[in-house]
């Protein structure tokens, strides 16, 4: 077991202490066992099963973010993100088989700020940890629901990875996300950086009275931590995607600079289609947005030339997961 000094040296925010962190992880390990036992005993009780699967997914997600804040290596978290998304997907697969009266989506984005932040963070972690293969599954958690294609912040992220996403001028939460949208709408690089700094520096303050997680660090006990970190993760995702200069706000407490550095350490290529839109990745099965050379990590030696609008194949037998084609060059 690590010493308090070791955790203090690794932690990404100052509120976590070793004993609380260790006991919280033990608490959730016991919860997993309890939930697994309850799930076995549910039988055909669909409502009971969905409630347990929801709790299981939420616990996975809480643990993941707590580990990030405590300083767990990003390479480890990159792998563990698979389990988080799989837990939510299992819940959604089960709940969509239930009756309409019993259906409860995992992310009700316009009801509670915490839920909205959770979903936005899930997208952002996939982007920043280069787990683009998980994004179709994350989108699937709200696909065809009342929240699909309804929020400008979410769509500004999705448009880099999915074709034909809507251009929106509406969003679920005015404060603080109007400031974020203003930042990325600023065409001047210096102005965009300035506006993003304003958004990041005010992010936690603007959560007061809106998010239940506000002030949770004051409730930490040795036996359990209800706090898993305060992170403006979507600001990091936009800083990466839009190449925003974050030097003026990278040391803000809520800005996960480690994630941005990790994302930027892996080279990315951007294809610009004839419509002027930038595309980072294209899903297998979609039409090629720009003629040129592409490759997919889902298949060895997949480098090949596609013509515009040519069908880009899928590799369903690949262990990599979803087939993602990446732009190389003309």
Write down all domains in the chain, each with its CATH number in brackets. 9-265 (1.10.3920.10), 269-330 (no CATH)
- 224's tokens: 């359990």
- Regions of the chain with pLDDT less than 70: 1-8, 43-44, 98-105, 267-280, 318-322, 329-330
Give Cα 287 to chain centroid, integer Å: 26
What pLDDT score was predicted for residue 2? Answer: 40
What pLDDT score was predicted for residue 4? Answer: 43
Pairwise CA distance, residues 289 & 312, whole Å: 10
Mapped onto helix, strand or coil, the DSSP state of residue 169 is coil
Among 87, 88, 78, CA closest to 132: 78
Residue 300 has phi, psi (to 5 degrees) of -70, 145
What pLDDT score was predicted for residue 102? Answer: 55
- Read off the pLDDT of residues 256-303 as tens digits, 9 standing for 90 and up: 999 999 999 876 655 555 555 556 677 788 888 888 888 887 787 888
Question: Rounded to whole angstroms, what are the CA distances from 19 to 1, 90, 145, 224?
Answer: 10, 32, 41, 9
Question: Rounded to whole angstroms, what are the CA distances from 185 to 1, 70, 131?
Answer: 47, 34, 26
Query: In the chain, what are the helix, strand and coil shares in percent, each to the nearest 5?
Result: 50, 5, 45
Pairwise CA distance, residues 156 & 285, whole Å: 22
């Amino acid at each position: 077991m690590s010493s308090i000094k070791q955790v203090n040296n690794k932690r990404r925010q100052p509120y976590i202490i070793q004993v609380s962190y260790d006991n919280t992880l033990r608490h959730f390990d016991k919860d997993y066992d309890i939930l697994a036992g309850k799930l076995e005993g549910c039988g055909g009780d669909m409502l009971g099963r969905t409630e347990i699967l929801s709790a299981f997914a939420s616990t996975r997600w809480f643990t993941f973010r707590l580990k990030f804040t405590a300083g767990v290596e990003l390479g480890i978290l990159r792998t563990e993100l698979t389990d988080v998304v799989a837990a939510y997907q299992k819940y959604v697969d089960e709940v969509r088989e239930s009756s309409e009266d019993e259906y409860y989506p995992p992310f009700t984005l316009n009801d509670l700020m915490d839920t909205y932040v959770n979903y936005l963070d899930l997208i952002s972690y996939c982007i920043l940890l280069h787990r683009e293969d998980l994004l179709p599954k994350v989108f699937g958690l709200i696909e065809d629901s009342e929240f699909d294609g309804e929020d400008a912040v979410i769509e500004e992220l999705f448009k880099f990875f999915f074709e034909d996403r809507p251009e929106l001028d509406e969003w679920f939460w005015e404060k603080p996300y109007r400031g974020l949208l203003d930042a990325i709408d600023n065409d001047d690089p210096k102005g965009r950086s300035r506006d993003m700094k304003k958004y990041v520096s005010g992010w936690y303050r603007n959560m007061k009275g809106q998010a239940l997680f506000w002030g949770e660090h004051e409730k930490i006990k040795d036996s359990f931590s209800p706090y898993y970190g305060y992170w403006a993760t979507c600001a990091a995702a936009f800083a990466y995607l839009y190449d925003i200069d974050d030097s003026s706000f990278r040391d803000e407490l809520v800005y996960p600079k480690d994630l941005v550095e990790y994302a930027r350490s892996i080279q990315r290529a951007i294809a610009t289609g004839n419509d002027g839109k930038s595309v980072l990745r294209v899903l297998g099965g979609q039409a090629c947005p720009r003629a040129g050379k592409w490759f997919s990590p889902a298949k060895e030696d997949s480098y090949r030339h596609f013509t515009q609008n040519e069908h880009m194949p899928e590799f369903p037998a690949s262990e990599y997961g979803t087939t993602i084609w990446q732009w190389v060059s003309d």
